[in-house]
Amino acid sequence: MSGTELDYIHSAFAENWIAPLGPNVNAFEAAISSHYQEKRQIAALSSGTAALHLGLEILGVGAGDEVLCQSLTFSASANPIVYLGASPVFVDSEWETYNMDPVALEMAIESRIKAGVKPKAIVAVHLYGMPYQNDRITQIAQRYDIPVLEDSAESLGSHIDGVPCGSFGDIAILSFNGNKIITTSGGGALVCRSEEHKKRAIYLATQARDEAPHYQHSDIGYNYRMSNILAGIGRGQMEVLADRVASRRKNYTSYKEELAKYEEIDFLEEPEGYFSNRWLSTIMTPSFEIREKIRLGLWEENIESRPMWKPMHLQPVFQKNQYYGGEAAEGIFDRGLCLPSGSNLTEQDLDRVLNQIHKIMKS
């Protein structure tokens, strides 16, 4: 925490705004909005998953539709597609950013159109804070006139040529879950390009009430708005976003400086003009065996590291869904490792991790 969160929470208590609306919610939305140079309308919600659900609905996704989704991601990118009665069609990653492969994306679009089902939307993700290849993805999406939902849950503070992640898609989502770069304990937001989209999001997030003195409903609604208490935490967190990004990037630099000398350990460099918040520091190894040797060696010293996201097309729950691409996503999963990456890691913590990796690499 930054230290100012409690002041904002106290003001919610003092003013008795204990509700899923209020001054903290408005101010938190304004703070997020001012993070973007171009005008963006923010709807603060109960989670990133809720934001994905509403974002897809606002883009017009419904029962029977197909949605193209990056396969290498957290399941929350794909699950809301199913909530809406639509089916995810998974797309491979490329090795420059680990994100959606534009070649596989175009192949998938062509193939689905040929089969008579034009995809309704594209869910592209900036994994671990590294921006996806926005120029190419957006160009393809526009050529086929398919809207992009930008999953920016892991990439608040990242940018391409100074343009912040969360402002590329037709609509974008953020997450403030406890593990993300800044947090409200649980929370999320929709980043909208129009007032109309924001209004629609808040309408749906507050049980879709018609304008009437009584309770009247013309749509199915949800209870997805953010609490005014939690928005108070968010206000304090926005003040330290830049510090958190600096801490995460420092972790990455420490790992890289010490470990790049090993032939078996590769780092994901930022392509020209790209800036990653380095939410998680990841390394790439030449094989599953070497990856596991490092992971288990760290575990022996009570240090947790984790394999990278298991691709959705390899998940039991999505066994029957279509997949386009090759074996990049699978290779990244098999050979990649997320190292301890908290913003609060001390020099001693980092030394402990590094010493153990040195030991493993020498054995």
- Spatial separation of the C-alpha atoms in residues 163 and 179, rounded to whole Å: 24
Output 77 or 341, the one with its CB closest to ligand PLP: 77
Active site residue 320: no
Residue among 24, 25, 42, 47 that touches ligand PLP (CB under 6 A): 47
Least distance from C-beta 80 to ligand PLP, angstroms? 9
> In this structure, what token pair is assigned to residue 34?
């001012």
Minimum CB distance to ligand PLP, residue 158 (Å): 13
**Can you state the percent helix, strand and coil of the chain, rounding each to 5?**
40, 15, 40
Site membership for ligand PLP, residue 177 (CB under 6 A):
yes
Tokens in use for 355? Answer: 């010493």
Q: Give the helix ranges, DSSP H, for the chain.
A: 5-14, 23-35, 48-58, 79-83, 102-114, 134-143, 195-205, 228-238, 241-259, 288-300, 328-335, 347-362
Rounded to 10 degrees, the C-alpha dihedral 233/74/222/170 comes to: 90
Q: What is d(CA 71, CA 323) in angstroms, rounded to the nearest whole number?
A: 8
Q: How far is the CB of 293 from ligand PLP (least distance, A)?
A: 27
Q: Is 74 in the site for ligand PLP (CB under 6 A)?
A: yes
Q: Which residues pair with 69 in a beta bridge?
A: 90, 123
Q: Tell me: does residue 169 bind ligand PLP (CB under 6 A).
A: no
d(CA 164, CA 313): 29
332/311 Cα distance (integer angstroms): 9
Judged by CB under 6 A, does residue 151 bind ligand PLP?
Answer: yes
Among 59, 76, 265, 345, binds ligand PLP (CB under 6 A): 76
Question: Is residue 137 part of the contact set for ligand PLP (CB under 6 A)?
Answer: no
Catalytic residue among 118, 120, 180, 310: 180
Minimum gap (Å) between residue 288 Cβ and ligand PLP: 23
**Minimum distance from CB of 184 to ligand PLP (Å)?**
9
- Segment near ligand PLP (CB under 6 A); pick from 13-21, 44-52, 112-120, 338-346: 44-52
| Binds ligand PLP by CB under 6 A, chosen from 8, 20, 44, 48 | 48
Interface with ligand PLP (CB under 6 A), residue from 77, 133, 158, 285: 77
Q: Which stretch binds ligand PLP (CB under 6 A): 12-20, 46-54, 102-110, 237-245?
A: 46-54
Cα 1 to Cα 182: distance, rounded to the nearest angstrom: 9
**Piece in contact with ligand PLP (CB under 6 A), picked from 11-19, 113-121, 148-156, 226-234:** 148-156
- Closer to ligand PLP by CB, 11 or 177: give it: 177
The residue number with the shortest CB distance to ligand PLP is 48
Q: What are phi and psi of 81, to 5 degrees?
A: -60, -40
Find out whether 241 and 155 touch, Cβ atoms under 8 Å: no
**Least distance from ligand PLP to the Cβ atom of residue 55, Å:** 11
Any idea how long the chain is?
363
Cβ pair 54, 60 in contact under 8 A: no
The dihedral of CA 29, 35, 41, 47: what is its sign? negative
Q: Binder to ligand PLP among 71, 73, 138, 227 (CB under 6 A)? A: 73
Q: Least distance in Å: CB of 205 to ligand PLP?
A: 14
How many angstroms separate the CA atoms of 179 and 31, rounded?
A: 20
Using the minimum distance from each CB to ligand PLP, give the nearer residue, 175 or 276: 175
The nearer residue to ligand PLP, 77 or 87, going by C-beta atoms, is 77
As to burial, measured by CB atoms within 10 angstroms (0-12 exposed, 13-18 middle, 19+ buried), residue 262 is middle
Indicate whether 125 belongs to the interface with ligand PLP (CB under 6 A). yes
- In the complex, the residues that contact ligand PLP under the rule CB under 6 A are 47-49, 73-74, 76-77, 125, 151, 153-154, 175, 177, 188
Catalytic site residues?
Answer: 180
